[in-house]
């Protein structure tokens, strides 16, 4: 069975998008998603995105990280899907229903309402999520926010001085986070945020849309930052707007890289 795909990216965070909104795609599994995401033997991507029919919205978006694990939300992929769809839409995700609006060269996404309760992150036990009484070496007292998926945010002097490639996986898999966690290190200067992200199931990425949302929310809620705020990521900039009690609006670019197709049995047969 030949399957068409679209390769897309948002600020260098790249995706393979499979469009099955007509119900035509075979069932996805973590091994097949991992095989397709492999950059040496597959198509290669940070996330595999599947579009499917939905009874709750215009269509459903499923998100598989490069390790094959299915996750709840992806901000950059949401902008890419908005560009692919070409008109405003409500989209069902495992993290809730979001709203997409394509713009010239990108999209605006309503990511929904952030959650701050320790059980919503989730954490293994109750604690203050505005300034968690925990540390990993020099990284201490993070904030925690769920924006459809779980994030911890460390505000530091220089995000690029942090050994995030070493500390990120330690924090991601700490027993404190039963669903694992995305790890953000950020600094604030001149009303803007500089951010690096260790993404759960992916690793260091050039951009993470939900990380930008979670970090902006934490900065606005706890650090006196004014909305909207520009978030500088290694791959480029996003604008995040959020008011207390409201939903998060993320605006930024998305790009189609190329299209192609693959034989399903080449990946489904040997995926382990």
Q: For strand 89-93 and strand 96-103, is the pairing parallel, antiparallel, or unpaired?
A: antiparallel
Q: Where are the beta strands (DSSP E) in 11-149?
A: 13-19, 47-52, 59-65, 70-71, 89-93, 96-103, 106-110, 135-136, 139-140, 143-146
Nearest one of 147, 267, 136, 118 to 218, comparing CA atoms: 147
Where does residue 65 rank: exposed (0-12), middle (13-18), buried (19+ CB within 10 A)? buried
Q: Which of 28, 71, 73, 74 is catalytic?
A: 74
What totals of helices (H) and strands (E) does the chain contain, helices first? Answer: 5, 19
Q: Is 132 helix (H, G, I), strand (E, B) or coil?
A: coil
Under a CB-based contact definition with an 8 Å cutoff, are residues 79 and 106 in contact? yes
Residues in the chain, overall count: 272
User: Minimal CA–CA distance to 26: which of 3, 58, 60?
Assistant: 3
**74 annotated active-site:** yes
Q: Which one of 77, 139, 156, 208 is the catalytic residue?
A: 208
Cβ density class 111-147: b for 16+ within 10 Å, e for less: bbebbbeeeebbbeeeeebeebebeeeebeebbbbbb
Distance CA 121, CA 214 (A): 11
Is 208 annotated in the active site? yes
Task: Quote the CA–CA distance of 97 and 84 in Å, as a whole number.
Answer: 18
Distance CA 253, CA 257 (A): 13
Q: Which residues are catalytic?
A: 74, 208
């Amino acid at each position: 069975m030949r399957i068409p795909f679209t390769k897309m990216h948002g600020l260098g965070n790249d995706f393979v998008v499979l469009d099955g909104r007509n119900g035509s795609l075979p069932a996805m599994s973590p091994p097949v998603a991992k095989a397709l995401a492999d950059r040496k033997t597959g198509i290669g991507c940070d996330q595999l995105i599947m579009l499917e029919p939905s009874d709750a919205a215009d269509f459903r978006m499923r998100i598989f990280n490069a390790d094959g694990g299915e996750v709840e939300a992806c901000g950059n992929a949401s902008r890419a899907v908005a560009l692919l769809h070409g008109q405003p839409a409500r989209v069902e995700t495992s993290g809730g229903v979001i709203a997409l609006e394509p713009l010239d060269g990108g999209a605006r996404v309503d990511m929904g309402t952030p959650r701050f309760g320790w059980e919503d992150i989730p954490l293994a036990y109750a604690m203050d999520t505005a300034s968690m009484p925990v540390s990993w070496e020099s990284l201490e007292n993070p904030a925690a926010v769920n924006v459809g998926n779980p994030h911890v945010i460390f505000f530091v002097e220089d995000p690029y001085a942090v050994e995030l490639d070493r500390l990120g996986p330690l924090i991601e898999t700490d027993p404190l986070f039963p669903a694992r966690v995305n790890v953000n290190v950020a600094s604030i200067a001149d009303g803007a945020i500089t951010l690096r992200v260790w993404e759960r199931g992916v690793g260091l990425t050039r951009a993470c849309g939900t990380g930008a949302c979670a970090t902006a929310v934490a900065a606005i809620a706890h650090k006196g930052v004014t909305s909207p705020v520009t978030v500088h990521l290694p791959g480029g900039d996003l604008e995040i707007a959020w008011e207390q009690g409201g939903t998060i609006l993320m605006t930024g670019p998305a790009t189609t890289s190329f299209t192609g197709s693959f034989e399903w049995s080449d990946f489904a047969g040997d995926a382990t």
